[in-house]
Amino acid sequence: MSAVIKTAEVCTLTFREALNEALRLEMTRDSRVIVLGEDVGRKGGIAGVTKGLLDEFGASRVIDTPISEMAIAGACSGAAITGLRPVGEFYYCDMLMFMADNVVTSAARLHFATGLLAPYVLRGRDGSKPGEGGPHQDSLAAWFAHVPGLKVVMPATPSDAKGLLISAIRDDSPVIFLEQIPLYSLKGEVPAGEYVVPIGKSEVKAAGSDVTVACVGRCVHDALQARDRWADKGVSIEVLDLRTLRPLDVESIRRSVAKTGRLITVHEGWASYGIGAEVVACVSDGPQLLLKAPARRVATLDTHIPASPRLAAEVLPNATRLDEAVADVTS
């Protein structure tokens, strides 16, 4: 890992390093925490998140598995039911489709059906690779956010990455933890030592009074840039980072929209039946009418994401469509 600049209580870390620190802290604190997945040990994880853990905690706790996503998820849930706190890693979000049966059929409903707990985390890379392209660019967060009993988390900053991963490991529910690929090298200040960000709480990343942009993951940074662009034009955007997709922080979304009266959602993943749809629904469900203008959803277009980075940039949520949406709701 690169050098850590440490002040009294805050370090500057990359998103990747912050996740690594969260894992290390939790594995030190709780011997029930184990890590398993493809290349998590000797290689230190495909995104470098588990680097150094094998040396520090040994092969009984950091397990290099075969390419067997169904077995990774199954092993996580079986071990979780009988006393461990496993953290399973997947290479890309689309691998979650292999894991989905275990997550949805077994783990998510286990507590409702039996009272037993399956406290495990499945974490890994999610979403697009801007400028790089290729396959494996889906973001299927909404599929999992649909399922009762699951928690779905998608941090946007290094400090949230650390605090939310610690919360996810300590949570008694199965948690899907999604790390958007462009964020891994992002640097930010991260509180040192014990640091917990509660699951289920959004955060206003920048306050505003005219338009609420509810966003998540890498799109939080797109929203912050849009906020700067529109400030010059006299439009004040509030950037609301959802951080957790299930349970959704309905109260904070409604509080923000009650203030601004205008709502745009921005996220990766398709718009139909998607994250934005749920956010808009939780506002329009009432009891009060909060919107002064129709809400707008900016998301991945309802089509295949092309491998070509130039084509993909059109399909993925982008600044052009976000600006159109802002213009629309403020016209």
State the catalytic residues.
136
> CB-wise, 70 or 301, nearer to other proteins?
70
The CB-of-37 to other proteins minimum distance in angstroms stands at: 12
The CB-of-18 to other proteins minimum distance in angstroms stands at: 27
Residues found near other proteins in the complex (CB under 8 A): 34, 60-61, 63, 65-66, 68-71, 73-84, 86, 101-102, 105-106, 110-116, 148-149, 247-248, 250-251, 254, 282, 285-287
C-alpha 176/C-alpha 121 separation (Å) is 6
> CB-wise, 166 or 248, nearer to other proteins?
248
Report the relative pairing of strands 151-153 and 175-180 from DSSP bridges: parallel
> CB-wise, 80 or 316, nearer to other proteins?
80
The CB-of-107 to other proteins minimum distance in angstroms stands at: 9
C-alpha 118/C-alpha 82 separation (Å) is 8
SS (H, E, C) 52-112: CHHHHHCCCCEEECCCCHHHHHHHHHHHHHCCCEEEEEEEEHHHHHHHHHHHHHHHHHHHH
C-alpha 100/C-alpha 254 separation (Å) is 31
CB 293: neighbour CB atoms within 10 A?
14
The CB-of-114 to other proteins minimum distance in angstroms stands at: 5
> CB-wise, 7 or 60, nearer to other proteins?
60
Strand order in the sheet with 151-153: 62-64, 33-37, 85-92, 121-126, 175-180, 151-153, 244-246
